[in-house]
């Protein structure tokens, strides 16, 4: 057995910093996050004194979300909002609707938001929310009632200067509109800055919908320059063809790369000549997934979910859920560059395998930070009631992403650590510096 599998076994032992309210030995995504913090701790010098702050969320709220179904029955869902850290500013992070959402997952996602916001230096702490529900099983009216009741229940934590939700898995601009309206109704005044990712007609920002995928593309270009990888003809494999994966795939294709493989919850496709990412995105918009896509010009093969990981590709973009690249498939990956569009797609043990193979992983906290960066622009525009052009937004987004990437790349070189540990060093230094200078209350 390799050292890597030994490290994955850490999750089977109970992590010494596990909070009492997460039961069992497998702490899920929170266990992975704690392990990432263990890896950065030795690099923080005197600030390490405050590391404990990062190992527990500041606040975690669990709410009951009862709604009346269209047929008259009442059903209950479990909802969460976790604020991991607010040392650098209000809590910020998305809300996901998914049947597998757990407290551990929302805690980890909120912590990754703290790290991400600090890594790209937007003035926020980290937060995340979720409801354990399969939203596809609800009617639109039920979805609206659930969103509104959840928003009301977590309303005690929210506010444009306290905690600002945004879209995440299975949530979109319409859901943000309902959240903004519910919060505003409870306040008795329209508060557009309480959520980001809103429709443009409500104070949303141009470029926000595409921002996460665009950010993946921008850091991809930077990483390719360092690795001397040509864009023209670069083979790209994308897991997840939702808001993040589709936009990233389209931008890579239009820049001259070939999207050779795509996987989502409905199918895995391979096309040596390169899929038409625009046509595939249009197919997904109509059909809810990539299954059944036929290309007029090229041969598209259905492949097994397992063989997706070993397709010949130069760049792999996991843009679905966490825990996808593990000890079970990391050694099969052929790509030289992994761009994490999803949050938490790679386990620490898989990180080690990829590092040993010489694969460069641009971690989630940098690679997918484009979304929250444009959320920050939206929030600033809502406060000032002055709106920017899409070009201004894309240009500022690219600048922030390039600068953040360059800083993290430099730390990785200087300290001979992975880009993930380097991003954590940059971010934890910013968070803990703020924490130290604020001092301990009372
Ligand atoms: N849900 C996105 C993320 O994971 C965006 C969060 C935001 O814009 O606040 O980064």
Give all domains of the chain, ordered by start, each with its CATH number: 57-191 (3.40.50.10860), 211-367 (3.40.50.720)
pLDDT class of 24 with cuts at 50, 70, 90: confident
Q: Is 93 in the pocket of ligand 1 (CB under 6 A)?
A: yes
Residues paired with 76 in a beta bridge: 66
Q: What is the 3-state secondary structure (H, E, C) of the chain?
A: CCHHHHHHHHHCCCCCCCCCCCCCCCCCHHHHHHHHHHHHHHHCHHHHHHHHHHHCCCEEEEEEEEEECCCCCEEEEEEEEEEEECCCCCEECCEEEECCCCHHHHHHHHHHHHHHHHHCCCCCCEEEEEEECCHHHCCHHHHHHHHHHHHHHHCCCCECCCEECCECCCCCHHHHHHHHHHHHHHHCCCCHHHCCCCCHHHCCCCCHHHHHHHHHHHHHHHHHHHCCCCCCCCEEEEECCCHHHHHHHHHHHHCCCEEEEEECCCCEEEEEEEECHHHHHHHHHHHCCCCCCCCCCCCCEECCCCHHHHCCCCEEEECCCCCCECCCCHHHCCCCEEECCCCCCECHHHHHHHHHHCCEEECHHHHCCHHHHHHHHHHHHHHHCCCCCHHHHHHHHHHHHHHHHHHHHHHHHHHCCCHHHHHHHHHHHHHHHHHHHHCCCC
Residue 10 has pLDDT above 70, yes or no: no
360 alpha carbon – ligand 1 mean position (Å) = 23
Give the mutation target among 166, 179, 205 for probing the ligand 1 site: most ligand atoms within 8 A of CB. 166
pLDDT at 358: 97
pLDDT tens digit string along 269-279?
A: 999 999 999 99
Q: Please tell me the total number of residues recorded for the chain in this structure.
A: 442
Average predicted confidence (pLDDT) for the chain: 95
Q: What is the pLDDT of residues 397-414, one digit of tens each?
A: 999 999 999 999 999 999
Nearest residue by C-alpha to atom 8 in ligand 1: 372
How many angstroms is it from 113 CA to the middle of ligand 1? 7
Q: Does the annotation mark 116 as catalytic?
A: no
pLDDT in tens, 198-249: 999 999 999 999 999 999 999 999 999 999 999 999 999 999 999 999 999 9
**Ligand 1: centre distance to CA 98 (Å):** 16
Share of the chain above pLDDT 90, in %: 93
Nearest to 150 by CA among 84, 95, 106: 95
Write down the pLDDT at residue 294: 94
Residue of 111, 122, 205, 371 best suited for mutating to test ligand 1, as the one with most atoms within 8 Å of CB: 371
Does pLDDT of 46 surpass 80? yes
pLDDT of 78 over the 90 cut: yes
The reply to whether ligand 1 has any atom less than 6 angstroms from the CB of 259 is no
Residue 8 has pLDDT above 80, yes or no: no
What pLDDT digit, counting tens, does each position of 307-343 carry? 999 999 999 999 999 999 999 999 999 999 999 999 9
Indicate if the pLDDT at residue 138 is higher than 50: yes
| Region 16-39 average pLDDT | 89
Note the pTM of the prediction, 2 decimals: 0.95
Does the beta carbon of 344 sit less than 6 angstroms from any atom of ligand 1?
no
337 vs 74: CA distance, rounded Å = 48
Q: Is 246 in the pocket of ligand 1 (CB under 6 A)?
A: no
Centre of ligand 1 from the C-alpha of residue 41, in Å: 25
Ligand 1 within 6 A of CB of 94 = yes
Question: Regarding predicted confidence, which is higher, 14 or 179?
Answer: 179
């Amino acid at each position: 057995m390799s050292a890597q599998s030994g490290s994955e076994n850490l999750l089977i032992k109970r992590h010494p910093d596990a909070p009492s309210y997460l039961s069992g030995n497998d702490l899920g995504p929170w266990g992975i996050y704690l392990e990432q913090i263990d890896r950065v701790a030795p690099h923080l010098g005197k600030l390490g004194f405050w590391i404990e702050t990062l190992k527990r969320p500041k606040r975690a709220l669990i709410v009951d979300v009862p709604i009346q179904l269209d047929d008259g029955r009442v059903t209950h869902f479990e909802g969460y909002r976790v604020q991991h850290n607010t040392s650098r500013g209000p809590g910020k992070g998305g809300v996901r609707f998914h049947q597998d959402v757990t407290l551990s997952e929302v805690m980890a996602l909120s912590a990754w938001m703290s790290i991400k916001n600090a890594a790209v230096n937007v003035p926020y702490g980290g937060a995340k929310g979720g409801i354990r529900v399969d939203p596809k099983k609800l009617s639109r009216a039920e979805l609206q009632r659930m969103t509104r009741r959840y928003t009301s229940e977590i309303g005690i934590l929210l506010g444009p200067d306290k905690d600002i939700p945004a879209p995440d898995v299975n949530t979109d601009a319409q859901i943000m509109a309902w959240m903004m309206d519910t919060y505003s109704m409870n306040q008795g005044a329209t508060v557009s800055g309480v959520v980001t990712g809103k429709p443009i007609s409500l104070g949303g920002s141009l470029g926000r919908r595409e921002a996460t995928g665009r950010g993946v593309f921008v850091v991809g270009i930077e990483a390719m320059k360092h690795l001397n990888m040509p864009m023209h003809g670069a083979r790209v494999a994308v897991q997840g063809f939702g808001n993040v994966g589709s936009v990233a795939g389209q931008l890579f294709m239009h820049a001259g790369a070939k999207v050779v493989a795509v996987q989502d919850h409905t199918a895995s496709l391979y096309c040596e000549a390169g899929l038409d990412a625009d046509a595939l995105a249009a197919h997904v918009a109509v059909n809810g997934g990539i299954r059944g896509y036929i290309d007029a010009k090229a041969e598209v093969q259905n492949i097994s979910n397992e063989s997706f990981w070993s397709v010949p590709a130069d760049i792999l973009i996991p843009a679905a859920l966490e825990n996808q690249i593990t000890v079970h498939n990391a050694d099969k990956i052929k790509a030289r560059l992994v761009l994490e569009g999803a949050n938490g797609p790679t386990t620490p043990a898989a990180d080690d395998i990829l590092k040993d193979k010489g694969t460069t992983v641009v971690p989630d906290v940098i690679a997918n930070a484009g979304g929250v960066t444009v959320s920050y622009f939206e929030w600033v525009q809502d406060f000032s009631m002055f709106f920017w052009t899409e070009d201004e937004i894309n240009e500022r987004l690219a600048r922030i992403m390039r600068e953040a990437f360059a800083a993290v790349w430099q730390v990785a070189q200087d300290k001979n650590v992975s880009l993930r540990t380097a991003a954590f060093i940059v971010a934890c230094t910013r968070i803990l510096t703020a924490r130290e200078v604020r001092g301990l209350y009372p």
